[in-house]
Structure 1
Amino acid sequence: MMLRRIVIMQDEKLLQTVEEEFTAILLHARDMLIRRAKAVHPDLQAPGYRVLALVICDDAQQQGVLAEKLRLDKATISRLVQHLESLALVTRTQDPSDGRAQLVSATPLAHEKWLASGNTLRQELRRQLTEWEPGELQNFGELLHRLNISFGELA
């Protein structure tokens, strides 16, 4: 009975450490997202950056599709797209397959700034991991993949 309580306490401490470190990495990721948004445009905020990321990675999107993917209401997406348009980062055109809808596309300027900000982020990440052994990197990648798969199963 005493041994079982010790094991449970050790497991709880391990889980608490993982939770603290996971929270810390999420905060670092949020900071990187904000820095990357600012590298694209000084007035770009994180939510707008997320919209821009989708139209760059998935090409032109209807605003309703963006709302679904980001789990935001259509009015919020509309405001974000208007802001991105005012920053010359996206354009809106009529959707040829649905005359009532508009497609949101990234501008060439947005693509250029996006690529540059991504290169900076990758260089920073590589710099942080230069002292890691190849086996550590492989194990870390596999563990992150496993965690991401489990999050995907929750959705």
Structure 2
Amino acid sequence: MDEHLPETLRAVEHELTALLRRGRALSWEIASEVHPNLEPNAYGLLLWLRRAGSVRLTDLAARLGIGKGTLSRQINRLELLGLVRRDPDPGDRRAFQLSLTEEGTRRFDAARASRLGQIRRTLESWSREDIDDFARLLRRFNDASAL
């Protein structure tokens, strides 16, 4: 093992902690842009729904690694805010397909544009290669991580 690895791992931990702290603060900000009563962790859920278009609750719960009961409570709250809707699943009448409402899509897209603008400004001095490497390494870390 490389003798500098423990120090390098401490540096990674430090940077991840800073990133997560900033991410939590940004989540509060972005969530309030979507809806003033939106919980910060719901932004990620809206992101998944925006990507999927329409998805069953059980499939989304499995993808996110959270329980169906927890996800159902979050979806209920998003429905009350008018951001998400449940439609009968044509393949299984006992199930529902979840998707963003038109209002949910409009609000999410506006908040996302703001978030992407912040990211763009942060990375504007980086080379395209550095940005590609950063995205690739983050994806690799997230795919391998149980965090």
Q: 1:126 to 1:44 in 2, by over 3 A?
A: same
- Residue 146 of structure 1, CA deviation: 2.9
Q: TM-score, normalised by structure 2?
A: 0.85
Unaligned 5+ segments in structure 2 are none
Query: Aligned-pair RMSD on alpha carbons?
Result: 2.3
Structure 1: any 5+ residue segments left out of the alignment? 1-6
| SS in structure 1 at match of 2:41 | helix
When structure 1 is superposed on structure 2, of 23-32 and 110-119 the one drifting more is 23-32
> Residue 65 of structure 2 aligns with which residue?
71
Note the 1:4-153 alignment, pairs <5 A: 8=3, 10-130=4-124, 132-134=125-127, 138-153=129-144
Closer/same/farther in 2, CA of residues 127 and 111 from structure 1, 3 Å limit: same
Query: CA 1:11 to 1:105, structure 2 compared with 1: closer, same or farther past 3 Å?
Result: closer
Letter in 2 for 1:84: L
| Deviation of 1:139 (Å) | 2.5
- Identity across matched positions, percent: 28
Contact 2:27 2:41 in 1 (8 A): no
Q: Which has the larger radius of gyration?
A: 1
Q: Greater share of helix residues, 1 or 2?
A: 1
Kept after mapping to 1: 8 A contact 2:123/2:131: no
